[in-house]
Amino acid sequence: MINFYKTLKVSKPLVITGFHSFGSVGTLAAQYLRDKLNAEEVGFLEVENLPSTALLIKGEIVYPIRVFYAKEKNLIIFESELPLPQNVSKAIAEDIANFAQEKRAKAVVCLEGLAVKGEPTQSNVYVIFNERKLST
């Protein structure tokens, strides 16, 4: 369940998820966007069966999965530094998908890192769209 500190009046945002994955790519990219766009922390994601964890940032205990809003860019960022157990992935995805649908999000962008064997000879970027019109 997504809990907001106050009513969030937003429509058609771009939603970004930055969770801990290989190389912490998702988390680092989300933090960069949050800092660069001066996004405000507006809430947190409460997930049943998430292991009890205390996350300390700059001397403060914070929620494991936080929600930020960059008003000028109409951008919502879901961010976590913790590796999330597989058994909570579906609940997290459903909460974010429901939020995106309710707010009529333009898109949901999931930032992830992929493990590769050895040193790559070329760099690849993989993009998957669920609507044909977005792929052109």
**What's CA 117's distance to the chain center, in Å?**
26
Nearest alpha carbon to residue 18 among 108, 84, 79, 100: 79
Instruction: Say if residue 72's pLDDT is above 80.
Output: yes
Identify the DSSP state of 50.
Answer: P
Q: Classify 8 in phi/psi space as left (phi over 0), alpha (psi -120 to 50) or beta.
A: beta
- pLDDT greater than 60 at residue 134: no
Q: Give pTM, 2 decimals.
A: 0.81
Domain ranges in the chain are 10-135
For residue 117, pLDDT beyond 90:
no
Pairing status of strand 14-18 against strand 60-62:
unpaired
Considering the four listed CATH numbers 3.40.50.10900, 3.40.50.10860, 3.30.1330.10, 3.40.50.12780, the one that applies to the domain covering 10-135 is 3.40.50.10900
At 112 the pLDDT is 79
Task: In whole angstroms, give the CA distance from residue 34 to residue 79.
Answer: 9
What's the whole-number average pLDDT of the chain? 86
Other CB atoms within 10 A of residue 88 CB? 16
